[in-house]
C-alpha cells in the first residue's frame, strides 16, 4: 500500500491531563514531516492541535488547517500554517478535511474529536473511503 501524502489528525484543542499526550503529539507531528506526510487538522494553535501543527512545521513539513468561521476566535486559529481554510460550518470542516486527506488518526481529545473520528469510521463502513 502506498504511503499517504496527507494525514488528517483529529485531536483536542486542550493538551489534556497527561504530559505524555503533548509529547506524543509532538513526536507524531515530527515523524509525519520526516516522512514527507502533510498534516490536515482543525486549524487551532492551542492544545494538542497546536502541538501537532507546530511540530510538523518545525520539522519542515506542511500543515493545513480547516476551521469554521465561528471557531476562528474561539480556537485561536493558527496564523503560521502552510494554509488555513476557513469554512462556514462544522459539516463543511469535516467534509473538507476528508477531501484533503489520505488517512485519519485520532489523538486524545473530547467530544469533537470523537464526532470527527466516528464520522470517518461510518463513512468507511459505508464504503465512501478506504
Convert the pLDDT of each residue in 34-52 to its tens digit. 999 999 999 999 999 999 9
Per-residue confidence band for 130, with pLDDT thresholds at 50, 70 and 90: confident
The answer to whether 51 touches 14, Cβ cutoff 8 Å, is no
Adjacent-strand bridge partners of 104: 8
Q: What is the pLDDT of residue 76?
A: 84
Q: What is the pLDDT of residue 110?
A: 94
Q: What strands, in cross-sheet order, belong to the sheet with 38-41?
A: 83-87, 63-68, 38-41, 6-10, 103-106
Q: What cell numbers appear for 73 in the block? A: 476566535
The answer to whether 8 touches 101, Cβ cutoff 8 Å, is yes
Domain 12-124: CATH class, spelled out: alpha beta
Rounded Cα distance between 57 and 63, Å, is 7
Sketch the domain layout of the chain as residue ranges: 12-124
**pTM across the whole model:** 0.93
Amino acid at each position: 500500500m502506498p504511503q499517504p501524502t496527507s494525514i488528517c489528525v483529529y485531536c483536542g484543542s486542550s493538551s489534556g491531563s497527561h504530559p505524555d499526550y503533548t509529547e506524543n503529539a509532538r513526536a507524531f507531528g515530527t515523524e509525519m514531516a520526516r516522512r514527507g506526510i502533510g498534516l490536515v487538522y482543525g486549524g487551532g494553535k492551542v492544545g494538542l492541535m497546536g502541538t501537532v501543527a507546530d511540530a510538523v512545521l518545525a520539522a519542515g513539513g506542511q500543515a493545513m488547517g480547516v476551521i469554521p468561521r465561528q471557531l476562528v476566535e474561539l480556537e485561536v486559529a493558527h496564523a503560521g500554517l502552510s494554509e488555513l481554510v476557513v469554512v462556514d460550518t462544522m459539516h463543511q470542516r469535516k467534509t473538507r478535511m476528508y477531501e484533503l486527506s489520505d488517512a485519519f488518526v485520532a489523538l486524545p481529545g473530547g467530544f469533537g474529536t470523537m464526532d470527527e473520528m466516528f464520522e470517518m469510521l461510518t463513512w468507511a463502513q459505508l464504503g465512501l473511503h478506504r
